[in-house]
Amino acid sequence: QTCLEMLGINKLKEGDTYYSVMTGNTMSLGHGAAFSANSPIDGAVLSSFLNATPEQLDEVSAELKAAFKALRTIPAPRRGELVRRIGEEARKYKHELAQVISLEAGKIMAEALGEVQEWIDVCDFAVGQSRMLHGLSIVSERPGHRMMEQWQPLGPVAVITAFNFPMAVWSWNAMLGLICGDPILLKPSEKAPLCALAMYQIAQNVLADMPDIPKASVSVMIGDRDLGEAIAASETFPLVSATGSTAMGRAVAQTVAARLGRSLLELGGNNAMIVSDTADLDLALRAIVFSAAGTAGQRCTTLRRLICHDDIVDSLVSRLEKSYSSLPIGNPLTEGTLVGPLIDAGSYQRMQAALESAKQQGGEMVCGGERVTEGVPQGGYYVKPAIVRIAHDAPIVHEETFAPILYVLTYTDFAEAVEIQNEVPQGLSSAVFTESMREAEFFMSPAGSDCGIANVNIGTSGAEIGGAFGGEKDTGGGRESGSDAWRNYMRRTTNTVNYGGDLPLAQGIVFE
Ligand code: UN1
Q: How many CB atoms lie within 10 A of CB 391?
A: 12
The whole-number pLDDT of residue 23 equals 96
Q: Which of 65, 82, 63 is nearest to 180 (CA)?
A: 82
Mean pLDDT (whole number) for 28-43: 98
Residue 390: how many CA atoms within 13 Å on its side-chain side? 27
Tens of pLDDT along 379-410?
Answer: 999 999 999 999 999 999 999 999 999 999 99
Separation between Cα atoms, residue 476 and residue 243, nearest integer Å: 9
Q: List the beta strands (DSSP E) in 183-325.
A: 184-187, 218-221, 239-243, 262-266, 271-275, 303-309
495 pLDDT more than 80: yes
Supply the pLDDT for residue 219: 98
Q: What is the pLDDT of residues 234-290, one digit of tens each?
A: 999 999 999 999 999 999 999 999 999 999 999 999 999 999 999 999 999 999 999
For residues 14 and 19, what is the distance between their CA atoms, to the nearest angstrom? Answer: 7
Count of C-beta atoms within a 10 Å radius of residue 420: 18
Across the range 160-168, mean pLDDT stands at 98
Q: Is 48 exposed, middle or buried (0-12, 13-18, 19+ CB in 10 A)?
A: middle
With residue 118 as reference, give the H or E element that holds it. helix 109-129
Of 159, 228, 229, 161, the C-alpha closest to 191 is 161
Per-residue DSSP letter, 115: H
pLDDT in tens, 72-110: 999 999 999 999 999 999 999 999 999 999 999 999 999
Average pLDDT over residues 221-231: 98
DSSP conformational letter for 13: E
50, 17 Cβ separation under 8 angstroms: yes
C-alpha–C-alpha distance, residues 305 and 392, integer Å? 9
Cβ atoms < 10 Å from Cβ of 474: 22
Classified as helix, coil or strand, 82 is helix
- Is 59 marked active-site? no
Q: Which residues contact 183 (CB under 8 A, 6 or more apart)?
A: 64, 67, 68, 71, 156, 157, 177, 214, 216, 217, 218, 219
> Which amino acid, 187?
K
Closest C-alpha to ligand 1, atom 5: 300
- Average pLDDT rounded to a whole number, residues 44-66: 97
Mean pLDDT within 127-141: 97
Give me the pLDDT at residue 450, please: 98
Q: Is 462 in the pocket of ligand 1 (CB under 6 A)?
A: yes
Q: Which pLDDT does position 335 carry in this prediction?
A: 96
Question: Does position 1 have pLDDT exceeding 80, yes or no?
Answer: no
Alpha carbon of 341 to ligand 1 centroid (Å)? 18
The pLDDT score that the predictor gives to residue 97 is 98
- Measure 461 CA to ligand 1 centroid, in angstroms: 6
DSSP conformational letter for 96: H
296 pLDDT tier (thresholds 50, 70, 90): very high
Taking all residues of the chain, what is their mean pLDDT, rounded to a whole number? 98
Query: Which listed residue (96, 104, 266, 480) is catalytic?
Result: 266
Spatial CA neighbour of 237 closest among 76, 27, 65, 21: 65
Q: How far, in Å, from the CA of 221 to the mean position of ligand 1?
A: 23
Q: Measured over all CA atoms, what is the biggest interatomic distance in the chain, rounded to whole angstroms?
A: 88
Instruction: State how far the alpha carbon of 29 is from the alpha carbons of 16, 205, 266, 368, 389, in Å.
Output: 11, 21, 29, 43, 50
Strand pairing class (429-433; 453-456): parallel
- pLDDT tier at 25, thresholds 50, 70, 90: confident
Amino acid at 351: M
Q: Which of 205, 76, 57 is nearest to 130 (CA)?
A: 76
Tell me what pLDDT residue 28 has: 98
For a mutational test of ligand 1's pocket, the pick from 461, 464, 465, 481, i.e. the residue with the most ligand atoms closer than 8 A to its C-beta, is 461
Q: What is this model's ipTM?
A: 0.97
The tens digit of pLDDT for each residue in 180-202 reads 999 999 999 999 999 999 999 99
CA dist 91 → 11, 115, 121, 462, 466 (Å): 21, 12, 10, 20, 19
Q: What is the rounded CA–CA span in Å between residue 446 and residue 227?
A: 41
Q: Does residue 212 have a pLDDT over 80?
A: yes
What is the 269 CA–ligand 1 centroid distance (Å)? Answer: 10
- pLDDT (0 to 100) of residue 494: 98
Query: Is a pLDDT exceeding 90 seen at residue 51?
Result: yes
